[in-house]
Amino acid sequence: MTKQEPYNSLEEYKKKILTSLPFNVDIFTIRELNRQDIDLYVSWPDYPPPYEMFNTSLKNKPLTERDKRWESYCQNNNTLSLVVEYKEEMIGKFSLLEIDWKKMSVNNMSIRLHPQWCNNGNGTKILKGISNWCFDNGIVKIKFDVLSTNQRAVKSYKNIGYKIIDKFEHGNATFYWMELRSE
């Protein structure tokens, strides 16, 4: 599905895309994030070095902060947050960010897999499935940043077809912009 019918609002289009959930990728189910998922995500164990920068900032925050994050998600029509489940257990969280609905492009993405599910090829399968789901629903471009030293992620993204298109500095770190376009 490459051509979408016109919608009266971004909210209407977001709702349309969400009707295609849940879907399966291999042994995983992808569905929309709900409020309880934020609490599950916060309960994950910390990522080991050198990946500790990916630990959630909500871990030691009060429930009111989690509620604020949820409200922010619900009110933002330019974000879609998805959960990855294996046998009804949440093992991943993907957020499509800064979506430009007029250009049908995702301009950033947040990708987190439970630490126990990292580094075994599952992230590659899941990202490929989510990318295909985006393209099947009319998205024509997905772009996101990745820490240049996170070579396991960079390799995974390249295996799917994402290409490094630019780089930037933030703090003391170099990040790559990676991009994939629908065919």
Reading the block at residue 5, the tokens are 């019918």
Mean pLDDT, rounded, for 47-65: 89
Length of the chain: 183
Query: Above 50 in pLDDT, residue 166?
Result: yes
The greatest distance separating any two alpha carbons of the chain, rounded to the nearest whole angstrom, comes to 47
Q: What is the pLDDT of residues 85-100, one digit of tens each?
A: 999 999 999 999 999 9
Helix-, strand-, coil-residue percentages of the chain, each rounded to 5 = 35, 30, 35
Q: Which CATH fold would you assign to the domain 10-143? A: Aminopeptidase (3.40.630)
pLDDT for res 12: 80
Mean pLDDT, rounded, for 152-163: 95
pLDDT for res 2: 44
Write the DSSP assignment of 4-30 as a string of letters: PPP-S-HHHHHHHHHTT-SEEETTEEE
What is the domain partition of the chain in residue ranges? Answer: 10-143
